Amino acid sequence: MKKKKYWIIGGVAAGLLLLLSIIMAMMMMLSNKSCKTGGTADIGGGSTGGGGAWTQVGTEAYKNAEATFKSWTEKGMSGAQAAGIVGNIGGAEDTGFVLNQAEIGGGTGGGLYQFTPASKYLNDPKSDKSWSVENQRDVVIDLEPATVKQFFADTKGGSPEDAATAWMNYYERPSAAARANTNSARRAAARTAYELFGGANISGSDSILGDAAATADGGSNAQNDENQCSSSSTGAGGDWGWPFASIKNNNPAISGEQLFGHSTSRTGNFHDGVDFGDAAYGGQEIKAIHGGTVYKIGHKGVTQNDLGYYVCVKSDDGYYEVYQEFAFSDSQAAKYIKVKEGDTVKTGDTIGTLPKSGSETSPLVNHVHIGVSKKEISAAESSAFRNDGTWLDPVQLIKDGQSK
């Protein structure tokens, strides 16, 4: 009798163990399902930035993320390119996809793309002030048509991860430290968006170049007078970048008397900076080559033999940068200078716009002169025609910075 009793108890225990195993297996299967069936997408690698409410079907964040993805594919972006943009938002910029999200960290920015300041979105001619997904996209294109065009051209046929990194570098332009800290999260989030929203099934088309190309090629700059700098930046400098988005592979279109150093045509046979001409860069935004604070905007002279209006930037790491000779009259300054004294800029932020062609401006504007020194700019001017080490070669600084 005892043997039978033990046999029954053993059978029941075995049955319970089998049932428990089945339940655990089913739970594991459910937990591994992607967000397409209502779970949270597996972004792999334990990366932060790819998960969160925006990956959960039915949430408001998910709806906004999906609408953002569709808004860019409707403009002609491929699934990978649109996922790269969504990945930047979901991975770092506005992780909750709150349409009018105040700048994370307490700055003055806002929205999906953390327009800094928020008034840059609100005051743009394309803005309807709704903070809708579609309108924010339209303002991005209106503010930086050349950037959007370049991103589209350079990421054709690429992966969502590489598109995420490109959008970070071309449009978001965080500090070097922020790029290093957030790049993996942006890339992981891009892969998640690509899988969630069917990116593999969407090819790009050149319709994206429509309004963007027209604005960029026409030389107009739709940005308002609000600068494009991040209030969270410390102005420490650190990284270096080219003054025009179209410069690739460390190969700027400058030569001869445009270069820094020996010059046969100038007093003292010395050129204290670099001239970027309108033939190659006219109509494009002039980007900050180094992060810092705009501490002076001045005016001296009305011809190419003078400084014209000039913008001075001070970096916390001891460098001073000056951008000059791209505006001479008051009307040109109002049109082409896009920062004001006291603004903080990071590398890649907009300083101004180089006029499309010198023949279209009066007084004549045919280049922007950029100089760099370890001395404050007004003090460095005394060495404008002497190669005594006061002025440094901007091209070499940028190339050295790009190779790090």
Are residues 268 and 213 part of one domain? Answer: no
**332 located within any domain:** yes
Measured from the Cβ of residue 13, the count of other Cβ atoms closer than 10 Å reads: 10
**122 located within any domain:** yes
**190 located within any domain:** yes
**pLDDT tens per residue, range 185-221:** 999 999 999 999 999 999 888 765 554 444 433 333 3
CATH number of the domain to which 336 belongs = 2.70.70.10
**189 located within any domain:** yes
Give the pLDDT score at 350: 96
For residue 258, give the amino acid letter: Q
Domain stop point among 165, 197, 217: 217
**pLDDT tens per residue, range 240-259:** 999 999 999 899 999 999 99
Are residues 167 and 274 part of one domain? Answer: no
Are residues 368 and 287 part of one domain? Answer: yes
CATH number of the domain to which 68 belongs = 1.10.530.10
Are residues 146 and 73 part of one domain? Answer: yes
Q: Confidence class of residue 18 from pLDDT cuts 50, 70 and 90?
A: low
Are residues 265 and 212 part of one domain? Answer: no
**pLDDT tens per residue, range 344-398:** 999 999 999 999 988 888 889 999 999 999 999 988 988 999 999 999 999 999 9
Are residues 117 and 69 part of one domain? Answer: yes
Q: Which domain holds residue 60?
A: 53-217
Are residues 330 and 181 part of one domain? Answer: no
Are residues 205 and 65 part of one domain? Answer: yes
Determine the 3-state secondary structure of 215 from DSSP: helix
Are residues 325 and 272 part of one domain? Answer: yes
Percentage of the chain exceeding pLDDT 70: 78
Are residues 391 and 263 part of one domain? Answer: yes
**267 located within any domain:** yes
Are residues 205 and 339 part of one domain? Answer: no
Are residues 211 and 71 part of one domain? Answer: yes
Give the pLDDT score at 354: 96
**6 located within any domain:** no
User: How many domains are there within the chain?
Assistant: 2
**362 located within any domain:** yes
**331 located within any domain:** yes
